[in-house]
Amino acid sequence: MKILFTVSFLALLCCGSLFADGKPQTFTLQELMQSVKSTSTITSIPTQDISTETIVVEKSTSPMDAATISKKVKLAINQLGSTIAANDQTMAKNSLIKIGKPAVASLSDALINDKRTWTRSQIARVLGKIGDQSAIPALEQTTATKYEVLNRASIEALGAIGGKKSVASLEKIKTANNDTSLSKAIEDAITKAKEK
């Protein structure tokens, strides 16, 4: 399958936007090339206008294997923990969300074992967006750390996942909670989880 993109270098270099599967995708030209190289064949066709170029991307129809998924998840987790620009970190989170359920085991492991608190809080948010209940045990483990930002992110993620298992987990956390600053977050998460 071939997809034809005509891109404006100026727009892409300043945080361009394309549409894939009907949803807007935002990235620089370099990121476009990197994201499709592993699964696609790219042909660049210069045009008369020096500010645009047509790029033909031939997408692979084979699904990503476990090793490729693991590599992409590790790369994105490292980007979350780096000092790169916030929009690049957002793109890393979005790529993890797009991978979805196949990323949950690796993300859950990183949530528990990574040493960087900010990275762990971002992973908790990603797990909440993915919404897979297999992340509940890891999220529950990270609701009573010495870091409020991580505790809060994990509680909110449990609420975002929703369902009976999340509610049961949040009720258990509520009973064990000694941090009054988290009480409202727990109540809000329980309410949200019950709505799902």
Number of Cβ within a 10 Å radius of residue 193: 22
- Report the CATH number at residue 76: 1.25.10.10
What's the number of CA atoms in the CB half-sphere (13 Å) around residue 14? Answer: 5
* Among the listed residues 146, 26, 145, 39, the one whose alpha carbon sits nearest the alpha carbon of residue 87: 26
Examine the domain organization and report whether 45 and 122 are in the same domain.
Answer: no
pLDDT value of position 62: 53
Cα–Cα dist 113/141, whole Å? 11
Three-state SS at 5: strand
**How many domains would you assign to the chain?**
2
Residue ending a domain, among 39, 59, 79, is: 59
Examine the domain organization and report whether 153 and 71 are in the same domain.
Answer: yes
- Residue 13 sits in which domain range? 2-59
Examine the domain organization and report whether 92 and 31 are in the same domain.
Answer: no
pLDDT value of position 64: 74
Cα–Cα dist 157/121, whole Å? 10
Residues forming beta bridges with residue 194, ordered by sequence position: none
Examine the domain organization and report whether 84 and 28 are in the same domain.
Answer: no
* Among the listed residues 97, 105, 173, the one whose alpha carbon sits nearest the alpha carbon of residue 142: 173
Examine the domain organization and report whether 132 and 161 are in the same domain.
Answer: yes
Cα-based distances in Å from 119 to 81, 115, 157: 5, 8, 14
Examine the domain organization and report whether 55 and 70 are in the same domain.
Answer: no
What is the full DSSP assignment across 141-159? HTSSSS-HHHHHHHHHHHH
Examine the domain organization and report whether 94 and 185 are in the same domain.
Answer: yes
Examine the domain organization and report whether 52 and 80 are in the same domain.
Answer: no
Residues of the chain with pLDDT under 70: 1-63
Number of Cβ within a 10 Å radius of residue 89: 19
Examine the domain organization and report whether 27 and 70 are in the same domain.
Answer: no
Examine the domain organization and report whether 47 and 74 are in the same domain.
Answer: no
Examine the domain organization and report whether 94 and 191 are in the same domain.
Answer: yes
Residues forming beta bridges with residue 2, ordered by sequence position: 58
Examine the domain organization and report whether 134 and 180 are in the same domain.
Answer: yes
